[in-house]
Chain A
Amino acid sequence: MTDLRTKYLGLDLKNPLVPSASPLSRSLDTARQLEDAGAAAIVMYSLFEEELRQEEESATRFLIHQEIGFGEADSFLPFHEHAYARGLEQYLEQVAALKRSLEIPVIASLNGVTLSGWVEHGKELQQAGADALELNVYYIAADLHEPGSVIEARYLELLRELRRHVSVPITMKLSPQFSALSNFVMRLEEAGADGVALFNRFYQPDIDLQHMRVTPRLHLSTSADALVAMRWIAILHGRVQLSLAATGGVHSAEDALKMVLAGADVTHLCSALLQHGPQRLAEILKDMEVWLENSGYDSLESVKGMVSQLQTADPVAFERANYMAVLDSFSAGTGVRV
């Protein structure tokens, strides 16, 4: 029997497969199915700062301040004691419910960008039973006047603020858009992060040609998306002490194994589970086991980081030289006029 155990954020996990934040954790049923399929831990769907704020604002606007001064109607929607924002309350209830019905660790996820008090909710998440917190600063650096240093400082500030409120491990989910990722991860570690998850996939807006407007569009990832995370995990492995999670584009045992070889402590799964259901996790786990066994390894730990930049025979491949090689590898089809 191959030993798939791994350590992530100080938690002892039975294997490296951890479903990432997705609607699957909204239902206790699917969460249980994930556990039954072998998930080692589960990251909950995100508690969005904007969602909380929007809830507060719409509750204030449409439930508290309904009056328009018209004689026949001083309100338009009925009042109800629970009619106000309940996003946080429901989230906390779900943390507690997941903790009650699952054996595996539950990692709660906070998603937001400002210091306006929402990270303080981390304390309530911890109290509700979360084993660790993922802090997802989903930030698009669109401001012309905001340099990268300010953006990095914002991440660090949010992390420190959260650290002040909680004692459970914290992992930071990052986007690939940092100019000096290695340095930044090191500073996150110094500021108290227990891990980083690489990388957040920004959902890219699309343009609707018929109506000439921007529309949100959800594209599920493919295995090709995993490569960027793999590169950076390989670069970071062994250079920093915090845990490394690979996220985005892990669809198969091959994808997961590559991540582990690059140095990931865990690999997150999302699109694969959304497409094929929780059972896909069991299949990937099985295939990983088979591969390790067939390849003669008796534990996951023994291959972890084996092809990281520190350990690989070809460290340059993870850096710029790789760029040239990839470009050269592309050539157009024979029938294509170029």
Chain B
Amino acid sequence: MTRPAMVTIDGNEAAARVAFLANEVIAIYPITPASPMGELADQWASMGHKNLWGAVPRIVEMQSEGGAAGAIHGSLQSGALTTTFTASQGLLLMIPNMYKIAGELSPAVFHVAARSLAAQALSIFGDHSDVMAARGTGFAFLASNSVQEVTDLALIAQAATLEARLPMVHFFDGFRTSHEIAKIEPLDESVVRAMIDDTRVDEHRRRALSPEHPVLRGSSQNPDVYFQARETVNPYYQAMPGIVQAAMDRFAGLTGRQYRLFDYVGAPDAERVLVLMGSGAEAAHETVEHMTAQGEKVGVLKVRLYRPFAPDALVEALPESVRRIAVLDRCKEPGSDGEPLYKDVISALAQDYAGAGKFELLPRVVGGRFGLSSKEFTPGMVKAVFDELDSEFPKHPFTIGIHDDVTHTSLKWEPGYRTGAAEKMRSAVFYGLGSDGTVSANKNSIKIIGENTDLYAQGYFVYDSKKAGAVTVSHLRFGPELIRSSYLIGDDDAQFVACHQEIFLERYDLLDKAAPGGVFLLNSTAAPEQVWDTLPKRMQQQLIDKRLSFYTIDAYDVAERAGMGRRINTIMQACYFAISEVLPSEQAIDAIKAAARKTYAKAGPRMIEANIKAIDTALEHLHRVDVPAAASSTFDRAPPVPDEAPEFVRQVTGVMIAGRGDSIPVSLMPADGTFPLGTAAWEKRNLALEIPVWEADLCTQCGKCVFVCPHSVIRSKVFDAKAAEGAPPSFKHVPVRSKDYDPGLHISYQTAPEDCTGCGLCVDVCPIRDKQNPSRKAVNMAPQVPLRAPERDNWEFFLQLPEYDHRKLKQTTIPGAMLREPMFEFSSACVGCGETPYLRLASQLFGDRMMVANATGCSSIYGGNLPTTPWAKNAEGRGPAWSNSLFEDNAEFGLGMRVAVDQLAESAREQLRALRASVGADLADAILTADQSDEAGIHEQRGRVAELLAKLESADTSEARTLAAVAEYLIRRSVWIVGGDGWGYDIGFGGLDHVLASGQNVNILLLDTEVYSNTGGQTSKATPRGAVAKFSAGGKPGRKKDLARIAMDYEHVYVAQVAFGAKDTQTLRAFLEAEAYDGPSLIIAYSPCIAHGVDLSHNLRQQDLAVRSGHWPLLRYDPRRAAEGKNPLHLDSAKPSIPFRDYAQTETRFSVLWRTHPEAAERLQQLSQRDVMARYHHYEELAALPGTEPAAPAVATTRKGGDAKP
């Protein structure tokens, strides 16, 4: 047995390596946290890597997981070894086909990074909700608990499925295992070869459908035989556990690593035993070892093969001495009297007790839930469960890891409880900004330590749900023994704590995790002798109390001098190695340099030189700071939200913002997933180094800066000059220039200094330059810190100024529309995001009457990922009502909103007609015939409805109460269906198409980034030809789907293609027209994205290039024009005026292909040039057709409500 060199990889890679070697067809679709498996497979295929049989596996991306499952089914039926990777809702979408695949006894392995299901909320994190929901499909289920096990059991699953003919779900915990980096022993290809029996592969091929020996499979069966046929498979399920165990045994012979269907660890005479599966079993294993060493009679049973469930093997694996068992499920089945694994264990024991009877007394079994959505599961919690088992009547069902003060299910645990494992390890915690390279440097450090020492290594990274200014916390462990600590580094545990950004001093309790006697390293611009004074008082006290050594470096200065710009990662890494001495310092420095050389080898010698220089000079600038005997700081960390915030925001939102959400009890959480709006405004993130400053004297008040702002931080407001009396001294305001406003009105453009992300788009778009000093525009960036306090006052003053009556605004113009208050502000989208300005615009124009159905994706994450939401209310309490259903069903979700609103409006009208006399005929008639086509009309209707409600209240009859409940539906509502291209072009296209066809009055805003942005840039059918994206690493060969043309084909759909950075007035007009159109409207909005490989400070330029090159023609198709006998199509952009290449070469997604596949790049580029010209000519011809007789009005499949609109 030769042992291959250890590697440090994560769980996803561990699974993908085996899957790639042992399969021929891989059908994929992106979903967190499984996407990296598909990405790796696609990447390896594009590089020509081969499988066991010398072929490059065929990777096929589908339009949804449902589609992937269908493709897998077909591929399996045609004889290819086939696999996929998925999680969560993705697995749910596969369930229908999984029944078929299992029903037809097709061997296959699905690798699942197990993840929570969307219920009261979506969650991307790990638990077993998804696999448990699929447990009835007939698939076998095999659980891996660690990265090493992922690689091992992936292979065992592959071997067993071929032999047993039962398909398998091989699963491991999302994030905790899929994203943990660990030093493991990889599988040599010879081991994979030895495990896969080619005679079984041949049998699979012989069973395939073939016209050479045709059969029919997939018949319909009647009551006479279906049942019997369903029972035919029993022998296969009976044989499966034995086959899996045999594969495990064979594997042990090849690698020395022995697995069992149920692996028991602990005292042979244990009385208390935990039963569980997944990564939590490793924490339990570690705790059990610690407790047994102290003489406790405890044990843990790790369930590996969950289906087919092998009760005999389970009973067999338990020690005879067991008296108490706690079964832990990492899922919740509401309404059940116990979770699935618990029930399986109970029935196994009961059956055994009723039969052969291993146990004299049936052990008492309780069930508990743990670890939902990656909730921590620590040794303290394991101990608490064992302790509970010791009590006379252990709680059932219980929860562990939360504080349930509603139904009191939770067990208390001791957070400070530690196993002996902690003492043998070195632990380090690093706080970094997402974009500063801290995580990649730490991954690199793990590799260095893994490769240069005998130490085991583990890295786990806590990421952010925010994109702009994301914070990462890296948890690194190194130790001489296998690391089973499948939980975060706890308080007082880290011998090394590093803070890579001084702004975190204001935001986090960085030293809570520091172990006594440990080290704190701070990257700070403060001089070593001044850095102490920059620390909050609590932190100073912790440095003293925990006797920490304190080091500081100005890494930005070192980086700048070395020619690295603002990249500090290798500098901080060098400091870590120098201080921590995990490796001899010199050896470590050499290793970092070698890693830098490797990383930058192909990027160029200058990058290598800069890194080497930075590493060399880092240590010269590293200073040890003497820790004084007493804390001297006069300040402490400010509360996460101010005291004047509403109670919920203080008690819940603020606690989450501070990173202490784990402490929130059940009672404080809304039971139905409902949260207040406007919470993003309470979280002041101070991300910007520089913020825009308005030059009132130069400004022509065009409003463009407000229009382009992705974070709604620069705003304009018109107000009576008198209202500005008492303004803070630096508050700027000048008379309105436009003649549309009464004299005496002033205008102000004001920045929210603490919410700005510093993207600079406002300055970029500003068309005004100082004639004396052309570099000075009407808005310019200036350092934030000196402006923070005065501008905060100005911002607060600005906010309390009354909104200008928007009935008087000319909202068809940019300056007029930009005076309206946004109800979408301070989102967590990327700096310079190309999507959010469209949402802000919609919220300005229609926010007070909007309902938003939001497809899952970037917009649902920056729109609705806790702790905060950017969706907000106006002073009257009105605002967009927002919800996210799923990824695939968003159009239907929005349609449901529309039909319900219309139905209830109609109902209200009926009832109003009936009560006409009692509420007053004039009022009733005015409401029933109201013209709500403009702002004034809606405003008046609101007044009438308020009057109606007052009358109904005083009437106090049952009819009045019934009408009162639906009266608000008499006010016009604007239903918006929002989503990205992954939704609209792919997974949700069927629904989108149906909703377009329905004729219903919905507004669909498709934010087209041309890739699945949220999951990391996978190809969608919106991805342009020749672009490199994940899942098309060799460049997308086919052209982008022309959704606008498809939608226009219906003839009753309002269609607009817009790009605000190219022509803002066209965007504004399209939004107004779309919303006013009484039928389906589709706005396809070009949205530059970080995934394009261009910095978003060029957002506007890229939109302009896209339009000028013809890649993104601007158009509006308005069926109302057709009704007037005119041509409905209007082209808003001119003939392509620059070569497609000139646009493509500015974006890495295109240009990288010239480096990786130059010939394909050239060919695809020429095809793209042909595409843009052909499309332009086609549109030009369509737009030039003479108008026709008015077409028949759109036929709605459901009757529309009778809003009186033009």
Chain A residues at the B interface, C-beta cutoff of 8 Å: 52-53, 55-56, 58-65, 67-86, 90, 116-117, 212
Q: Which residue of B lies closest to A68 (CB)?
A: B434
Question: Contact between B471 and A77 (Cβ–Cβ < 8 Å)?
Answer: no
Q: How far is the CA of A59 from the CA of B606 in the complex (A)?
A: 12
Q: How far is the CA of A68 from the CA of B1155 in the complex (A)?
A: 24
Question: Contact between B467 and A68 (Cβ–Cβ < 8 Å)?
Answer: yes
Q: Which of B594-630 contact A (CB under 8 A)?
A: 599-600, 602-607, 609
B1030 within 8 A of A: yes
B115 to chain A, nearest CB (A): 11
Which residues of the partner chain A approach B124 to less than 8 Å between Cβ atoms? 71-72
Which residues of the partner chain B approach A62 to less than 8 Å between Cβ atoms? 1093-1094, 1148, 1152
B560 to chain A, nearest CB (A): 15
Which residues of the partner chain A approach B1090 to less than 8 Å between Cβ atoms? 68, 76
Question: Contact between B1091 and A76 (Cβ–Cβ < 8 Å)?
Answer: yes
B1105 within 8 A of A: no
Which residues of the partner chain B approach A75 to less than 8 Å between Cβ atoms? 1016-1017, 1030
Question: Contact between B43 and A60 (Cβ–Cβ < 8 Å)?
Answer: no
Count contacts between A and B, CB distance < 8 Å. Answer: 147
The 6 A-B residue pairs whose C-beta atoms are closest, nearest first, are A69-B434, A73-B1016, A69-B470, A84-B602, A56-B604, A71-B463
Q: How far is the CA of A58 from the CA of B604 in the complex (A)?
A: 11
Which residues of the partner chain A approach B1158 to less than 8 Å between Cβ atoms? 90
B272 within 8 A of A: no
Q: How far is the CA of A150 from the CA of B113 in the complex (A)?
A: 62
Which residues of the partner chain B approach A72 to less than 8 Å between Cβ atoms? 32-33, 35, 124, 861, 1014-1016
B1029 within 8 A of A: yes
Question: Contact between A78 and B46 (Cβ–Cβ < 8 Å)?
Answer: yes
Q: How far is the CA of A314 from the CA of B458 in the complex (A)?
A: 84
Q: Which of B1150-1205 contact A (CB under 8 A)?
A: 1151-1152, 1155-1156, 1158
A71 and B464 in contact, given A78-B1030, A85-B1155 (Cβ under 8 angstroms): yes
Which residues of the partner chain A approach B607 to less than 8 Å between Cβ atoms? 56, 60
Question: Contact between A63 and B1152 (Cβ–Cβ < 8 Å)?
Answer: yes
Question: Contact between A82 and B602 (Cβ–Cβ < 8 Å)?
Answer: yes
Which residues of the partner chain A approach B1091 to less than 8 Å between Cβ atoms? 76-77
Question: Contact between B603 and A80 (Cβ–Cβ < 8 Å)?
Answer: no
Which residues of the partner chain A approach B175 to less than 8 Å between Cβ atoms? 71
Which residues of the partner chain A approach B432 to less than 8 Å between Cβ atoms? 69
Q: How far is the CA of A116 from the CA of B606 in the complex (A)?
A: 8
Question: Contact between A83 and B767 (Cβ–Cβ < 8 Å)?
Answer: no
B1095 within 8 A of A: yes
B567 within 8 A of A: yes
Q: How far is the CA of A77 from the CA of B1034 in the complex (A)?
A: 11
Q: Which residue of A lies closest to B465 (CB)?
A: A71
Question: Contact between B606 and A78 (Cβ–Cβ < 8 Å)?
Answer: no
Which residues of the partner chain B approach A71 to less than 8 Å between Cβ atoms? 32, 124, 175, 463-465
Question: Contact between A85 and B466 (Cβ–Cβ < 8 Å)?
Answer: no
Q: Which of B828-880 contact A (CB under 8 A)?
A: 830, 861
Q: How far is the CA of A37 from the CA of B612 in the complex (A)?
A: 50
- Give 18 A-B pairs besides A67-B439, A76-B1089, A84-B1155 with Cβ atoms closer than 8 angstroms: A56-B607, A59-B602, A59-B604, A64-B600, A65-B435, A69-B434, A69-B470, A69-B472, A71-B32, A71-B175, A71-B464, A72-B1015, A73-B1017, A77-B1093, A77-B1152, A78-B1028, A83-B1156, A85-B603
Which residues of the partner chain B approach A78 to less than 8 Å between Cβ atoms? 39, 42-43, 46, 1028-1031, 1033
Q: Which residue of A lies closest to B36 (CB)?
A: A74
Q: How far is the CA of A257 from the CA of B1017 in the complex (A)?
A: 58
A76 and B39 in contact, given A70-B464, A83-B1152 (Cβ under 8 angstroms): no
Q: Binary interface profile of B, 1010-1046, with partner A (CB < 8 Å = 1, else 0)?
A: 0101111100000000001111010000000000000
Which residues of the partner chain B approach A69 to less than 8 Å between Cβ atoms? 432-435, 439, 463-464, 470-472
Q: How far is the CA of A75 from the CA of B439 in the complex (A)?
A: 12
Q: How far is the CA of A61 from the CA of B830 in the complex (A)?
A: 16
Which residues of the partner chain B approach A80 to less than 8 Å between Cβ atoms? 43, 46-47, 1028, 1033, 1152, 1156
Chain B residues at the A interface, C-beta cutoff of 8 Å: 32-33, 35, 39, 42-43, 46-47, 124, 175, 432-435, 437, 439-440, 463-467, 470-472, 567, 599-600, 602-607, 609, 767, 830, 861, 1011, 1013-1017, 1028-1031, 1033, 1089-1091, 1093-1095, 1148-1149, 1151-1152, 1155-1156, 1158
A35 to chain B, nearest CB (A): 23
Complex A-B: 5 CB contacts under 8 Å: A68-B830, A73-B1016, A75-B1016, A80-B1033, A83-B1152
Question: Contact between A70 and B470 (Cβ–Cβ < 8 Å)?
Answer: yes
Q: How far is the CA of A65 from the CA of B830 in the complex (A)?
A: 15
B1030 to chain A, nearest CB (A): 5
Question: Contact between B463 and A70 (Cβ–Cβ < 8 Å)?
Answer: yes
From the candidates A60, A67, A68, A74, name the one contacting B603 in the complex (CB within 8 A). Answer: A60
A77 and B439 in contact, given A60-B603, A72-B32, A116-B606 (Cβ under 8 angstroms): no
Which residues of the partner chain A approach B609 to less than 8 Å between Cβ atoms? 117
A167 to chain B, nearest CB (A): 22
Which residues of the partner chain B approach A68 to less than 8 Å between Cβ atoms? 434-435, 467, 470, 830, 1090
Q: Which residue of B lies closest to A53 (CB)?
A: B606
Question: Contact between A77 and B47 (Cβ–Cβ < 8 Å)?
Answer: no
Which residues of the partner chain A approach B1149 to less than 8 Å between Cβ atoms? 77
Q: How far is the CA of A1 from the CA of B1089 in the complex (A)?
A: 65
Q: Which of B42, B466, B603 has the most CB of A within 10 A?
A: B603
Question: Contact between A60 and B600 (Cβ–Cβ < 8 Å)?
Answer: yes
Q: How far is the CA of A78 from the CA of B1036 in the complex (A)?
A: 12
Which residues of the partner chain A approach B1095 to less than 8 Å between Cβ atoms? 61
Q: How far is the CA of A71 from the CA of B42 in the complex (A)?
A: 21
A271 to chain B, nearest CB (A): 19
A251 to chain B, nearest CB (A): 25
A58 to chain B, nearest CB (A): 6
Q: How far is the CA of A288 from the CA of B1014 in the complex (A)?
A: 65
Question: Contact between B464 and A76 (Cβ–Cβ < 8 Å)?
Answer: no
A43 to chain B, nearest CB (A): 23
Question: Contact between A67 and B602 (Cβ–Cβ < 8 Å)?
Answer: no
Q: How far is the CA of A86 from the CA of B435 in the complex (A)?
A: 25
Question: Contact between B1029 and A77 (Cβ–Cβ < 8 Å)?
Answer: yes
Which residues of the partner chain A approach B35 to less than 8 Å between Cβ atoms? 72-73
Q: Which of A60, A65, A72 has the most CB of B within 10 A?
A: A72
A161 to chain B, nearest CB (A): 15
Q: How far is the CA of A71 from the CA of B858 in the complex (A)?
A: 12
Q: How far is the CA of A123 from the CA of B1148 in the complex (A)?
A: 29
Question: Contact between B471 and A65 (Cβ–Cβ < 8 Å)?
Answer: no
Which residues of the partner chain B approach A83 to less than 8 Å between Cβ atoms? 602, 1152, 1155-1156
Q: How far is the CA of A111 from the CA of B477 in the complex (A)?
A: 49
Q: How far is the CA of A80 from the CA of B45 in the complex (A)?
A: 11
Q: Which of B33, B604, B767, B1033 has the most CB of A within 10 A?
A: B604
Which residues of the partner chain B approach A77 to less than 8 Å between Cβ atoms? 1017, 1028-1030, 1091, 1093, 1148-1149, 1152
Q: How far is the CA of A60 from the CA of B566 in the complex (A)?
A: 13
Q: Which residue of B lies closest to A215 (CB)?
A: B1138
Which residues of the partner chain B approach A90 to less than 8 Å between Cβ atoms? 1158
B591 to chain A, nearest CB (A): 18
From the candidates A53, A70, A81, A116, name the one contacting B466 in the complex (CB within 8 A). Answer: A70
Which residues of the partner chain A approach B1148 to less than 8 Å between Cβ atoms? 58, 62-63, 77
Q: How far is the CA of A240 from the CA of B532 in the complex (A)?
A: 67
Q: How far is the CA of A16 from the CA of B437 in the complex (A)?
A: 55
Which residues of the partner chain B approach A52 to less than 8 Å between Cβ atoms? 604
Q: How far is the CA of A61 from the CA of B1094 in the complex (A)?
A: 9
Which residues of the partner chain B approach A116 to less than 8 Å between Cβ atoms? 606
Which residues of the partner chain A approach B1015 to less than 8 Å between Cβ atoms? 72-73
A210 to chain B, nearest CB (A): 11
Q: Which residue of A lies closest to B1015 (CB)?
A: A72
Which residues of the partner chain A approach B1030 to less than 8 Å between Cβ atoms? 75-78
From the candidates B600, B1017, B1033, B1155, name the one contacting A86 in the complex (CB within 8 A). Answer: B1155
Question: Contact between B603 and A79 (Cβ–Cβ < 8 Å)?
Answer: no
Which residues of the partner chain A approach B470 to less than 8 Å between Cβ atoms? 68-70
Question: Contact between B1028 and A117 (Cβ–Cβ < 8 Å)?
Answer: no
A65 to chain B, nearest CB (A): 6
